[in-house]
Amino acid sequence: MGRDHLMPKAYIGIGGNLGDTITTVRSAFAALAGLPETTLLSTSMLYRTSPLGPIRQPDFINAVAAIRTPLAPLALLSWLQSIEHQHGRIRDGARWGPRTLDLDLLLYGDSRIVEDTLMVPHPGLCQRAFVLYPLYEIAPDLEIPGHGPLVRLLPAVAGQRIAVANLQQGTSGS
């Protein structure tokens, strides 16, 4: 086991709706596994979900990954943004717009972080089925700092559309 058990466990939300989204999400899993001294612990199934916000756009493919890493939260965020960029993510300021890849640091151990560029737990985590269901799949006993047991958050998002992605269907966005 070594020192791995001493390193924080982080949960990363993964999503995209442009291009070959299933391939992109799988590539993001591999990129997370390749982070310095980081272990990819588990990944959820892929889920198809409706986009948020007023912009008309294709459905998203979403997932969650658990990693164990020595990277500090802001360093990890920088790596996540680098992975997004490598996958064609363009940050144009459009909130809730279409994107090739979105990586969100959802949780970092039991930390509560409020910085200009990072909030953990992720501020939208508790209101989003596309985060809570995949997170529950890989960590059903998880406690969300400041919110309690993950399982107690699920009823609040039960009405949101989410389905396991059909990996045989075409997945290209616009």
Active centre residues (catalytic):
89, 99, 102, 104
Question: What is the number of other CB atoms lying within 10 angstroms of the CB of residue 155?
Answer: 8
Structural contact between residues 120 and 141, judged by C-beta atoms closer than 8 angstroms: no
Q: What residue has token string 């990944």?
A: 43
Q: Is 91 exposed, middle or buried (0-12, 13-18, 19+ CB in 10 A)?
A: exposed
Between the alpha carbon of residue 135 and those of residues 43, 56, 117, the distances in Å are 9, 26, 23
How far apart (Å, rounded) are the C-alpha atoms in residues 138 and 174?
30
Q: Is 120 exposed, middle or buried (0-12, 13-18, 19+ CB in 10 A)?
A: buried
